[in-house]
Amino acid sequence: MKITILNGNMNPQPDVFSNYIENLVAYFDANHNINLFNLNQMDLRYCTGCWNCWWKTPGLCIHQDDGATIFSAVINADVVLFASPIMAGFTTSALKKITDRLIVLLHPYFDIINGETHHKKRYNHYPRFGVLLEKEKDTDAEDLKIISDLYERFAFNFHSEISFVKFIETSTIEEVANGTCNL
Amino acid sequence: MELVIYNGSPRAKKSNSKLLMDQFLQGFNPENPEATTVHYLANRKNREVYKTDYQRADTIILIFPLYCDSMPGIVKEFFEDIYNLPATGSKKIGFIVQSGFPEAIHSTYIEAYLQKLAKRLKCDYLGTIIKGGVEGIQMMPPAMTRKLFANFNLLGQVFAKEGRFDAQIQAKLRMPLKFSPLRLMVNRMLNFTGIGNFYWNINLKKNKAYQQRFDKPFGD
């Protein structure tokens, strides 16, 4: 199974979250192809809304940075794990920065799906999503619902599905790994 | 009222968000619409100024386009910046979320986050204006944007007088939340015939990229 992990942890120092991710990667057996991206160590720019990727160089982003490596690993994965500590009630800006740029993998044309307007697929196959979070001091059930709803909507637009939203505080590495492989 | 406006569009001064806020400010202060401070979050080198002005202001409006079903990354970065600031007295905050999707439903899911964020920031929440169908307004003839701009102008007028978003205009801008079955049928036809893709096709052709529009550079 091809698994792509987008780690949005912004802390440059080793911490509980980065240790958890390292242990998670180590837990997967050799049968799996794991692509871990520690986003804070990569050259990634913000989306500028230029839409070159839709109407100038279809499917390709204008930025000459590490984005293309991630786009390829995302679209060719079976599962993408969006991993991030929660900051100000949502996943980090480092993770949102690359998430915004995943529109390069969609087509600008519209389709009607479930009675709503959505962008058409550019590719035949889209990966399933998992979300792995670390709580901040005031995270509550309402935050979990907000984050889950927003990722469900993103998955819907991305022709994908969310298979799980888990916290590192309450899910063992084994549970997350098994959840990821059994999607 | 010490109002500061933050424009969270990655397109900054070339954004549709700016066009809408220009109309709002015309209504808010017809004599001097440029008197209100407007910050463009895409200019990230000014992040310290954005924080200082956030603390100074008593009223904040943040407008942004919907990116992948929530706030653009630069807006999330701004939220992280102000979240770590000490609370400074009573403050009000309101949001405007616009998107290219023709129905407003897409932008309603971020509303719960914004309301909770206001609480986290210890601000009074002024509500969220949601408007779909905004992409392409820069290309539209004046007749097609007249109503939209008039509503944003009126929104600004009421905000100047009462310090809040007008509920009726807010409700009007949110329409259509979803399309009726009849309209969906029409839209399906427009998409099928290619008429619904006019905006994309005209730009693809202008850039000589029309033949490449279905390219899959990263696989199948």
Summarised one tens digit per residue, pLDDT across range B16-73 is: 999 999 999 999 999 999 999 999 999 999 999 999 999 999 999 999 999 999 999 9
Are the beta carbons of B178 and A116 separated by less than 8 Å?
yes
How does pLDDT run across A7-51, given as a tens digit for each residue? Answer: 999 999 999 999 999 999 999 877 899 999 999 999 999 999 999
B214 touches chain A (CB under 8 A): yes
Residue B140's pLDDT band (cuts 50, 70, 90):
confident
Whole-number Å distance between alpha carbons of B165 and B159: 6
Q: Examine the predicted complex and report whether its ipTM is higher than 0.95.
A: yes
Q: What is the mean pLDDT of residues B152-176?
A: 97
B34 touches chain A (CB under 8 A): no
> Cα dist. A172→A3, A21, A104, A178, B160 in Å?
18, 11, 34, 10, 53
How does pLDDT run across A123-165, given as a tens digit for each residue? Answer: 999 999 999 999 999 999 999 999 999 999 999 999 999 999 9
How does pLDDT run across A75-122, given as a tens digit for each residue? Answer: 999 999 999 999 999 999 999 999 999 999 999 999 999 999 999 999
Helix segments in B6-140, DSSP class H:
16-28, 47-56, 73-83, 109-120
Residue A183's pLDDT band (cuts 50, 70, 90):
low
Task: State how far residue A2 is from chain B, nearest Cα, in angstroms.
Answer: 14
Residue B105 has pLDDT above 70, yes or no: yes
Q: Which residues of A touch B69 (CB under 8 A)?
A: 150, 153-154, 157
Whole-number Å distance between alpha carbons of B96 and B17: 9
For A123, half-sphere exposure in the C-beta direction (CA atoms, 13 angstrom radius) is 23
How does pLDDT run across A44-66, given as a tens digit for each residue? Answer: 999 999 999 999 999 999 999 99
B106 touches chain A (CB under 8 A): yes
